[in-house]
Amino acid sequence: MLCLGIETSCDETAVALCDDGRPVLEKLASQARLHAVFGGVVPELASREHLRCLGPLLDALFAESGLTLAAVDAVAVARGPGLLGSLLVGLAAAKGLCLGAGKPLIGVDHLHAHLMAATLGRAVAYPALGLLVSGGHTQIVRLDGPLAMTVLGRTIDDAAGEAFDKAAKSLNLPYPGGVYIDVLGRGIAPDRTLFPRPYLDNDHLNFSFSGLKTAVAAYVAAHPELRTPAMPDAVGPIDPEAWPMALRRVCASLNFAIAETLRVKLVRAMDGQPAPVASLLAAGGVAANGPIRAMLAEVAARRRVPLYLPEPVLCADNATMIAATGCLLGRAGLTHDLSLAPIPRGRK
């Protein structure tokens, strides 16, 4: 099954083709630069930018792949969670293509798709435990199969990505700051007691990262010299050597606090399942983080289960994950009609 995927849920406009779950080609336009000056995604700008970029990206996808819309078996589109206006742009485009070319439409849950990015090209053993860590979500889910997901825990306030981004904002690092904190902390021993590992003193699997954000803000207020004086250009490779050591230690300590918090709940979740967990998955933009990937590898090795991580480029928002999930849903006969509506807040 050749599936076209469309992703417009937040600040990446992306289209991709997958053939029976195998990635064929992706075309992606990031809006990071556009929103960087505002220090966060501006919804109105995001939807206008999706509208501007989607047509040319589709043209480029078909031109470069040598394939045509006629060859596509289904059109899959992210229906949420995400920004309402942005989702509507993707949904309208997908519906137009389906209506014009007589193709089935498949609405895809963006979070499900993130997790499926970890399974691409792999024979995953189930039940699997999945850690989904992105800018808007932090969840632990059990997958009894690729289409059978149970959410076991979620954040009650900020997501892990928000903790990274807001800490970066306190430090006056460019937006989105997660990748800066990751790279600047590389090779530096963390101070393990500098920041709290929040919300572990309980017996459930939910997360709360808002206290960590406050702890970082308070630490930076007490050490104003840590703030970078001017916002450097967010584009281009990051050279960690060019940054002060004290700032880099703060970054390493924050990576450690977040990775450890995720580890405690993940291990707790593994211990609490009715059947032994056969594999670990992680996905979402924050799953590109070096110390978090190292923590996951260590947990998997200790528990002797395989770990499936998307390559870093497929951790962030992309359309390959939407097309691949579309293939799974389509093969199972799960399609939608043209009344498909966005679900901006996601399923509960």
- What residues contact 132, with CB distance under 8 A and at least 6 apart? 111, 114, 115, 138, 139, 140, 141, 282, 283, 284
Q: Using CB under 6 A, which of 28, 78, 129, 316 touches ligand KG4?
A: 316
Residue 155 is classified by DSSP as B
What whole-number distance in Å separates Cα of residue 126 and Cα of residue 143? 7
What would the x/- binding string for ligand KG4 be over residues 164 to 183, using CB under 6 A? xx----------xxxx--x-
Identify which range of 40-48, 130-138, 183-191, 288-296 contacts Zn ion by CB under 5 A.
130-138
When the beta carbons of 107 and 178 are compared against ligand KG4, the nearer one is 178
Which of 31, 86, 134, 289 touches Zn ion by CB under 5 A? 134
As given in the structure block, the two tokens for residue 248 are: 């880099």
For the CB of residue 283, give the shortest distance to ligand KG4 in the complex, in Å: 8
Asked if 76 contacts 3 with a C-beta cutoff of 8 angstroms, the reply is yes
**Should residue 285 be labelled a site residue for ligand KG4 when binding is judged by CB under 6 A?**
yes
According to CB under 6 A, which one of 261, 289, 325, 335 is a site residue for ligand KG4?
A: 289
The string of DSSP codes covering 88-114 is: HHHHHHHHHHHHHHT--EEEEEHHHHH
Collapsing DSSP states into helix, strand and coil, what is residue 39?
Answer: coil
Tokens of 289: 């983080």
Q: Which stretch binds Zn ion (CB under 5 A): 89-97, 132-140, 148-156, 329-337?
A: 132-140
Closest CA to 147 of 315, 328, 345, 333: 328
Does 261 bind ligand KG4 (CB under 6 A)? Our answer is no
**Residue 23 binding ligand KG4, by CB under 6 A:** no
Return the bridge partners of 7, or none.
14
Applying CB under 5 A, which residues contact Zn ion? Answer: 134, 317
Q: Summarize the annotated binding site for substrate as residue ranges.
A: 132-136, 165, 178, 182, 289
Applying CB under 6 A, which residues contact ligand KG4? Answer: 10, 134-136, 161, 164-165, 176-179, 182, 284-286, 288-289, 316-317
Q: Summarize the annotated binding site as residue ranges.
A: 110, 114, 132-136, 165, 178, 182, 289, 317
